[in-house]
Amino acid sequence: MSDKTTANAKTQSDVLFEIKDLCKDFGKGLVLDHISTTIKQGEVVVIIGPSGSGKSTFLRSLNLLEVPTSGHILFEGADITDKKLDIDAYRQKIGMVFQHFNLFPHMTILRNMTLAPVKLLHMDEKEAEALAMGYLERVGLADKAQAYPSQLSGGQKQRIAIVRALCMNPDVMLFDEPTSALDPEMVGEVLEVMRDLAAGGMTMLIVTHEMGFAKEVASRVMFLDEGKIVEDGTPEKLFEHPESDRLQSFLAKIL
């Protein structure tokens, strides 16, 4: 009996996000049109699609930065679309990286990283700093600990934004076009950090236009168009054998 329970628990905890009939309407028609899918632990899901396809809205719905019009999002078994639920507690487990970094300009890099663990996880100040320094070393920015965000390049800022989110020890990381605001020569350093993260087994959902990166790192690619998941599968399947006309023409345009 105990074996069965563990097995059940395992399959249940295996699923990180269960998304059911997710709709979002900004008042001009559906941006997300009944999206249903499941995200499992350890998956690296790259979401691609033309601009306006709803991919950013989809990603931002997963931590309720966009409040869905209808549908349900289950995160680790809890329905986070339930208004009675304390979303802040769940957001602590969902790291997010933005296109425009959104570092806090009035704090040092170290403070940017330790603020949330200290205030929300009640981590000891020293402990949080040690944790942050560890991450800074991993991304090669330990010497910037006392710098302010305005003193960093775009690539450096985005690397900090990633490790700032990691300091909360999240179960999943959401990336909303993390390299779109970067100068081309800085894209590589950010992708490198993300590649490491994926190799370390982090569950990741990434909205990006970096198709090379998608092919290399994704365990699964989702093609969104007009608020629907049009195709969903391995990178080989989507990039080498696209089935739908829409994906074929999308790939033809960008590759």
Partner 1 sequence: MDGFLASFKNNFIDDNRYMYLVEGLGTTLLVTAFAAILGILLGFLVAIIRSTYDKTGKMKIPNFICVIYLTVIRGTPSMVQLLIMYYVIFASAAVGKPLVAILSFGINSGAYVAEIVRSGIMSVDGGQFEAGRSLGFSYAQTMLYIIMPQAFKNVLPALANEFIVLLKETSICGYIGLMDLTRGGDIIRSRTYEAFMPLIAVALIYLALVMFLSAMVRKLEGRLRESER
* Binding region for partner 1 (CB under 8 A): 63, 65, 88-89, 91-92, 94-96, 98, 100, 102-107, 115-116, 119-120, 148-151, 164-165, 168
Shorter beta-carbon distance to partner 1: residue 98 or 213: 98
Q: Which of 103/221 has CB closer to partner 1?
A: 103
Tokens of 55: 């991919």
Which C-beta is closer to partner 1: that of 105 or that of 184? 105
* Whole-number Å distance between alpha carbons of 85 and 89: 9
Place of tokens 């990286």: 97
Work out how close the CB of 96 gets to partner 1 at its nearest, in angstroms, rounded to a whole number. Answer: 4
Measured in whole angstroms, the distance separating CA 113 from the mean position of its chain's CA atoms is 18
Q: Between 55 and 91, name the residue whose CB sits nearer to partner 1.
A: 91
Neighbours of 15 (CB within 10 A): 15
Q: Report the relative pairing of strands 30-40 and 78-79 from DSSP bridges.
A: unpaired
Looking at beta carbons only, is 64 or 139 nearer to partner 1? 64
In a 3-state reduction of DSSP, which class is residue 186?
A: helix
**Are the CB atoms for 204 and 44 separated by under 8 Å?**
yes
Closest CA to 42 of 197, 235, 242, 222: 197
- On whether the CB atoms of residues 223 and 207 are closer than 8 A, the answer is no
DSSP state of 150: G
